[in-house]
Structure 1
Amino acid sequence: MQAENRTYAQAIECLNSLQTNASILKTVSKSNNCHLTALPEMREFCQKLGYEARDFDSLNIIHITGTKGKGSTCALVESILRNFYSSRKESMTNKIRTGLFTSPHLVAVQERIRLDGTMLSEEEFTNYFFECWDKLKLNDIKQGDDDKRIKPYYFRFTTLMAFYVFMKEKVDVAIMEVGIGGEYDSTNIIEKPTVCGVSSLGIDHQRYLGETVDLIAWHKGGIFKANAPAVTVDQPPIALDVLKKRAEYVNAPFIQVETHTEESLGNINIGLAGRHQLINVSLAIELCRIWLEKNRNIKFSNERVPQEFVPGLAKVRWPGRSQQLVLEKYPKITWFLDGAHTLESIQVCADWFNETAIAKKSVERILIFNCSADRSGSEMLKQLISKNSYIHFDHANFCTNVTFTTNQFKPDLQNNTIRIDKNLTLQKTLAEIWPTLISKSQTSDAHVFPTIQNAINWILEHCKESEREVQVLVTGSLHLVGGVMAVLEVDV
């Protein structure tokens, strides 16, 4: 394949070839060897790209982990720093060039790597992708080779590519979101971050991190480094104790921030919806304050929210999380998109939907839901329609995360790590449970669909026959939300 003829589609095809199928992933997750070799292998890959891990110290990294809100916190930090000088007297030559690495993506892989708030174009992504691909000599590894360790997995490759892009683009700050956990995460080759942050902790990824919040906190605290402030928010007491001990062990100054109220923020119009964002905003403000003091020698007064932070807080965008949309081609429908995928986050989603959705009889409400097989879908649904909720769903559509009725997945959304059950066992089970969860005084029809497009097509046809406005809540999985956005052709 000639370099000049390489396309974005070919880059995605190559990237997808690095995905581990579900059966292998399950076997690997039970082995401690993968943990022991993960970071040494990442360092070897970095060397093939021309860097030592210590070279990334020049990126002045903000490293962020957590269970809930870590992506939102990353987006807030990036927006605050990028817009910091917009309200100051200094010349815009002082503008902070930002790099942002997050996961997963919603619609297009380029979303994972952003420069100055903008995801890489397809051309930029393709060029950088194949530079990394060639340096790692991945074309030389043939299918069936015994030693799979010499080939980075999907997330490892995107992490390596992010470091590579940020070095080549000479960003002033790299905001790096942890994938899973922290201690053994691919991003944890970082040696001297400027500051580390831990968002709200809860139970998730138990297969990799453990069944209890203290075990999970141990993994998250693994990103702490000597002399780099370790900042967190209000946590369960046992988790907070673990984080403190992990910080003390590596000599990292430990800071727990107080959560802002709307009043203490001065009623700033935050660009992200939902009261839960106050926690993420509080963490982001402290991370940015520390970064600016260390890297720009800017000293702040005792004001809780520096005025220079306000533009970034107002302008931040983070699609697919507490996002409300009305599309011109479907004016009768309001789409509510939230990738909540844990018991805690689904309750937050329910609170947001109850506060945001218009509670009037003339509105029909439809749920689109899916979750991964290793999560308790029935418990998530119970949280969603708890007694505290005044919202009633007239219909519940349960579908897989397969995007389209034909050609199946959008290539960017191909996920080999999840086994697709063609018998729709999970979806049928959820549909059977649904009537038992709703109030006996109400009726709600459950429907099962093999793809996201099928579920949406049903809604569009149903709306043609209804004179009422329609509100659609999409939740349970970020992959589901991304698939819905792909089918609706929503920009991210």
Structure 2
Amino acid sequence: MSAPSDIILQRMMALHPKVIDLTLDRVHRLLAALGHPERSLPPVIHIAGTNGKGSTQAMIRAGLEAAGQSVHAYTSPHLARFHERIRLAGELISEPALAALLDECVQANGPDSITFFEITTCAALLAFARNPADAVLLEVGLGGRLDATNVVDRPALTIITPVSIDHQQYLGDTLPEIAGEKAGILKRGVPCVVGPQSPEGLAVIEARAARLGAALLAHGQHWHAFAERGRMVFQDENGLLDLPLPNLPGPHQIDNAGAAVAALRHLGHGAAACEAAVSRAFWPARMQRLRHGPLVDVAPMVELWLDGGHNPAGGQAVAATLAAMPARDTHLICGMLNTKDIGGYLRPLAPHVTRLHAVSIPGEGATLPAEATRDAALAAGMAAEVAPSVGAALAAIAADAPQARVLICGSLYLAGAVLRENG
């Protein structure tokens, strides 16, 4: 039986014909009807970027909570259920609270056009304004300048994680264009932590920051983070921190951890909060090891991993993670959306993979057909075949290579389906 919130969320889908339509007019209208909750929030940390937003947010939350602070957090998309998007003072929003909030937003909006992401963002801001906390972590949905989250005039801090090519149909075809959209979250006089960037992307961010008088805390200039002798070293103008390696797997998490630590240090937190940020964060479907559940039972000897990365930079990050692991026969179970650069995602992975098993994403209208994923893998230099489902692919791998490493990858929507199926 559907929960009340599921029924309201389904109704919200019909309020605007497009899934994505970047403008702030509808958001400002609804927020005004709701009494401007965006003006009554705890201190906001606003996070944009192409890759690493969620991991960076998870690390900052772990650090703040270790320092005794209560934290609201907003993220998207969700994996298994919508409630994951809204975290109130550390806990996922309850079903009664979510249903009431969504219903209130639908009533306030009336028959007016608004996208699903816009109205649900307004619901999150309303929840954050009504519940006390020490901080709000606000993750951009898409871009930044015209994203529905970009309605807070004076955040405490902004963060831009690495910018790369993705969502070109909305953000532009070049890195400078996309970086310009991400830099749209910068606010006059508000400092911004900047993760590793391409030179052309950083130039755009620096130019906008200069116009707004926003101080930058940029990777490679104002802070450095690197692995050394099995530890993570962080250095900024306040000195050096010797930290554990991030518990989120993959070399790219050093950069995300560096941005989180830079943010925590700027906000006045010490070494204990920084250590908790890198050692206690949990973020599902980012090189997540699956150890229990029905899918694991299909292939009990297999080393099973799940990752939701879906663009060329995500492919490079996963490839670097696989390269750093002990050598093992490695199979991919891959499904992607038809809007993604599948060749750009798969090419970095090809040297590390024995075989790819292509699947369609269940229940997703915009899925790339499994046959197209197989053909792209063959073009990238991988052995590849089509499988009817993730479970069927796992069973075939277990029969052929029972002790293989298997990575289910290519889309957060596929990752969500896997987490639901695996309980």
- Range of TM-score over shorter length: 0.7 to 0.9
Other-structure match for 1:209: 171
Distance, in Å, in 2 between the alignment partners of 1:385 and 1:461 is 20
Question: Is the aligned partner of 1:446 residue 2:367?
Answer: no
Q: 2:157 aligns with which of 191, 195, 201?
A: 195
SS at match of 1:200: coil
Other-structure match for 1:397: 357
Distance, in Å, in 2 between the alignment partners of 1:401 and 1:272 is 25
Q: Which amino acid aligns with 1:455?
A: V
Contact 1:99 1:166 in 2 (8 A): yes
Q: How do 1:337-352 and structure 2 match up within 5 A?
A: 337-352=306-321
Contact 2:43 2:155 in 1 (8 A): yes
Once the two structures are superposed, residues 399-422 of structure 1 have per-residue CA deviations (whole angstroms, 9 ceiling, x without a partner) of 2222xxxxxx4xxxxx6xx445xx
Contact 1:54 1:190 in 2 (8 A): yes
Q: 1:477 aligns with which of 386, 411, 414?
A: 411
Once the two structures are superposed, residues 365-423 of structure 1 have per-residue CA deviations (whole angstroms, 9 ceiling, x without a partner) of 4321122212232332222113xx3x423xx2222222xxxxxx4xxxxx6xx445xxx
Please report how far the alpha carbon of residue 447 of structure 1 lies from its aligned counterpart in structure 2 after TM superposition: 1.4
Among the aligned pairs, what percent are the same residue? 26
Please report how far the alpha carbon of residue 80 of structure 1 lies from its aligned counterpart in structure 2 after TM superposition: 0.7
Other-structure match for 1:9: 3
Question: Is the aligned partner of 1:71 residue 2:71?
Answer: no
Contact 1:65 1:199 in 2 (8 A): yes
Once the two structures are superposed, residues 94-120 of structure 1 have per-residue CA deviations (whole angstroms, 9 ceiling, x without a partner) of x31100001111111111011243322
Please report how far the alpha carbon of residue 446 of structure 1 lies from its aligned counterpart in structure 2 after TM superposition: 0.4
Q: How do 1:328-477 and structure 2 match up within 5 A?
A: 330=297, 331-356=300-325, 358-360=326-328, 365-386=330-351, 389=352, 391-393=353-355, 396-402=356-362, 409=363, 418-419=365-366, 426-438=369-381, 444-449=383-388, 454-460=389-395, 463=398, 465=399, 468-477=402-411
Structure 1 pair 379–227 and aligned structure 2 pair: CA distance change class (3 A): closer
Q: Which amino acid aligns with 1:370?
A: G
Which one has a bigger Cα radius of gyration? 1
Please report how far the alpha carbon of residue 435 of structure 1 lies from its aligned counterpart in structure 2 after TM superposition: 3.9
Please report how far the alpha carbon of residue 242 of structure 1 lies from its aligned counterpart in structure 2 after TM superposition: 0.7
Structure 1 pair 458–419 and aligned structure 2 pair: CA distance change class (3 A): closer
Structure 1 pair 327–180 and aligned structure 2 pair: CA distance change class (3 A): same
Please report how far the alpha carbon of residue 267 of structure 1 lies from its aligned counterpart in structure 2 after TM superposition: 4.5
Q: How do 1:105-184 and structure 2 match up within 5 A?
A: 105-137=78-110, 141=111, 150-184=112-146
Contact 2:8 2:103 in 1 (8 A): no
Other-structure match for 1:272: 248
Q: 2:45 aligns with which of 28, 46, 62?
A: 62
Q: How many aligned residue pairs are there?
A: 405
Structure 1 pair 437–39 and aligned structure 2 pair: CA distance change class (3 A): closer
Other-structure match for 2:274: 309
Contact 2:311 2:344 in 1 (8 A): no
Question: Is the aligned partner of 1:226 residue 2:188?
Answer: yes
Q: Give RMSD over aligned pairs.
A: 2.5
Distance, in Å, in 1 between the alignment partners of 2:212 and 2:190 is 9
Once the two structures are superposed, residues 10-38 of structure 1 have per-residue CA deviations (whole angstroms, 9 ceiling, x without a partner) of 3223213333799x539xx7xxxx55xx3
Q: Which amino acid aligns with 1:397?
A: H
SS at match of 2:225: coil
Higher strand share: 2
Segment drifting more, 120-129 vs 244-253: 120-129
Structure 1 pair 470–252 and aligned structure 2 pair: CA distance change class (3 A): same
Once the two structures are superposed, residues 183-219 of structure 1 have per-residue CA deviations (whole angstroms, 9 ceiling, x without a partner) of 1110111101001010001001101110000001111
Distance, in Å, in 1 between the alignment partners of 2:293 and 2:120 is 34
Please report how far the alpha carbon of residue 462 of structure 1 lies from its aligned counterpart in structure 2 after TM superposition: 5.7
Q: 1:255 aligns with which of 208, 217, 227?
A: 217
Please report how far the alpha carbon of residue 461 of structure 1 lies from its aligned counterpart in structure 2 after TM superposition: 6.2
